[in-house]
Amino acid sequence: MKKIRFMDVSFRDGFQSCFGARVKTEDFLPALEAAVHAGTDNFEIGGGARFQSLYFYCEEDAFTMMDTARKIVGPDINLQTLSRGANVVGLVSQSRDIIDLHARLFKKHGITTIRNFDALMDVRNLSYSGQCIHDAGLKHQVVVALMGLPPGLHETYCHSPQFYLDKLKEILDAEIPFDSVAFKDASGTTTPAVVHETIKGARKMLPEGTIIQFHTHDTAGMGVACNFAAITGGADIIDLSMAPVSGGTAEVDILTMWQRLRGTEYTLDIDQEKYLEVEALFIDQMYKYYMPPEATAVNPVISFSPMPGGALTANTQMMRDNNTLHLFPAVINNMREVVVKGGFGASVTPVSQFYFQQAFANTIQGHWKKITDGYGKMVLGYFGKTPARPDEEVVRLASEQLGLAPTVEDVHDINDRNPELGVEYNKSLLQQANIPQTDENIFIAATCGAKGIAFLQGDCTTGIRYKADIAVEIKATPRAEVVAAYHEAHKHDIHQKEVNHRLEELFSKLPTATPATESSASSSKVISMAGNFTVFVDGSPYTVSFAEGSAINPQSLAPVSSAADDAALALQPHAGTPVTAVMPGNVYSIAVKVGDEVKEGEELAIIEAMKMENPVKAPCAGRILSITVAKGDTVGMGEIMMTIE
């Protein structure tokens, strides 16, 4: 019987997939320690989105987290992190000196192995970073990135077994040093047949004894089947997770895969009773965190519009932050075309985020009206060569809007010339901010930008969502607002008439107070609101309590104002030309104050949405008459932010 090893990804990809990577270190350490005692000797502990998220949302330092994890597990356990090739742990590709610094710092802070991938499978992006990982004394796990193409396309080569094996041959021909090979399907859309044929072919190509590892998510419901296909194809290690961060957008549960292998010639060789205890402890430790319902759901639509499990929940969490979650189905639907016209790069960060950002822009601002920065640079070649040639019209639009010419130049050479990248540039930023110029701080500044600098200055806030916070928000919300919010969230539903009917039926059954006298206005019906009511938010029930005597008059309720009404009201106090939000999101910065003279096209503010910084520019020249928003405010599409006279 062949023993199949596994890597527990609960504390990195599990957190990213289920909680948007927003988890405090102290809350998972007991489960990490218990997992070691149960027999796990291989963990994914950081990197990927879990690097930035600690600074952006958790008020924690990623290097301190790594040090703490190493102390907990001891010296012999494999602690692994995820790197995005030339992008290391951010969305922006870096210069060579930062890529090298990444490897040296992660070695310093207790990491054993770095899994290194490039979403475009441009081997040039794996070569330098892989050499740096090797030279730093770390184990290098080189990655072939997988993705299932949406059905109905005429593409027959990209993301086929032959395509993946050709990429593996390029890695071998480039003589990139590596200790193991991983086949990583972040979206969970590759079919079991393709997984099996790819790994079977790789086993024949690779030197005898080479470790092959397989990674997939259960987002589309194929996780168990694909893991078994990888095992029968010759994989040595598979990635698994523990409840509550297993299944759905995350990886298959350790116990689920153990059950699948029973009665076969393969085994995980674990004490299942110990893992039952560890998972019970882990569930208890994570209970206070709010887990969105989409995090644990199987979503068959993902096969048509590949969205990685690790990115799906992170993006829906950001959409909740920006009050745009109701647009999620439309954005996912638009991803299909974005993937095709973008050149078929694997849907894994950062490319998956570029896809999502462009699909979001297409949904909000109109079909291909705005080419986002990341997506545009990708199709123009500034992140490497895409697997297939991007759509010519999209390339033309990207070139016009971004002011960049298409390129085939090595990304590292481009970035080394960029004066706003590299160690020296980030040293200067730290010096200006009076922050010590340590290697760690340089790397934080380089990969986390202005938010990283703000963290180092002590200017950070939590973005973690706890169940208690969500419950309080719901209980504090007036009934009329709950109903209005429900209608807003479901205004795009195809069954809206049915939903309206159900709501009307529900409220018609509520107990009524004593009817008003004939002399009262319109003799309207007064509805008693005393008692407890259950409100469903994202599929989860919350109890809302109204005190005795609470009542409403439906006829007297003021109608919910439309965006147009709000805009008209906002204009009343101030004449002048309105400056409106170009996208729903959070106000990241405001560059002007009342009384400033501005030129047409001058940048006045920045709105952050879906990890994009969207400049708000002056529609005309003049003087700033009023500013109606503040840094940190959430704004809707078209909302007036300031006026110019």
CB-facing half-sphere around the CA of 251: CA atoms within 13 A: 27
What fold, for 2-295? TIM Barrel (3.20.20)
- pLDDT per residue over 582-623, tens digit each? 778 888 889 999 999 999 989 999 888 766 677 898 999 999
Predicted local distance difference test score (pLDDT) of residue 474: 62
98-112, 129-143, 346-360: the lowest-pLDDT one:
346-360
C-alpha triplet 503, 509, 510: angle, nearest 5°: 95
* 418 confidence band (pLDDT: 50, 70, 90): very high
Predicted local distance difference test score (pLDDT) of residue 588: 85
Question: How many residues are there in the chain?
Answer: 645
- Please answer whether residues 537 and 470 qualify as being in contact, where contact means their C-beta atoms are separated by less than 8 angstroms: yes
First and final C-alpha spacing in the chain? 79
- Please answer whether residues 282 and 10 qualify as being in contact, where contact means their C-beta atoms are separated by less than 8 angstroms: yes
Of residues 573 and 398, more confidence is placed in: 398
Q: What is the 3-class SS of 4-46, one letter each residue?
A: CEEEECHHHHHHHHHHCCCCCHHHHHHHHHHHHHHCCCEEEEE
User: Are both 2-295 and 563-644 of the same fold?
Assistant: no
Predicted local distance difference test score (pLDDT) of residue 312: 77
Average pLDDT over residues 506-517: 47
Residue appearing with tokens 């008003």: 516
The residue extents of the domains of the chain are 2-295, 420-456, 467-556, 563-644
- pLDDT per residue over 268-316, tens digit each? 999 999 999 999 999 999 999 999 888 888 888 888 878 776 677 777 7
Local structure of residue 407 (DSSP, 8 states) = -
What is the C-alpha separation between 129 and 86, in angstroms, rounded?
Answer: 7
Question: Residue 559 above 80 pLDDT?
Answer: no
- pLDDT per residue over 339-353, tens digit each? 999 999 988 878 888
Predicted local distance difference test score (pLDDT) of residue 272: 97
4-13, 186-195, 322-331: the lowest-pLDDT one:
322-331
What is the C-alpha separation between 127 and 142, in angstroms, rounded?
Answer: 9
- pLDDT per residue over 357-371, tens digit each? 899 999 988 999 999
Which CATH architecture does the domain made up of 563-644 adopt? Answer: Beta Barrel (2.40)
Predicted local distance difference test score (pLDDT) of residue 486: 52
Considering the entire predicted model, what is its pTM? 0.79
Predicted local distance difference test score (pLDDT) of residue 487: 57
Q: Is the peptide bond before 478 cis (omega within 30 degrees of 0)?
A: no
Pairing of strands 139-145, 113-116: parallel
253-262, 490-499, 582-591: the lowest-pLDDT one:
490-499
**Please, what is the average pLDDT of the chain?**
86
Question: Residue 488 above 60 pLDDT?
Answer: no
What is the C-alpha separation between 198 and 316, in angstroms, rounded?
Answer: 32
| Percent of the chain's residues with pLDDT above 70 | 83
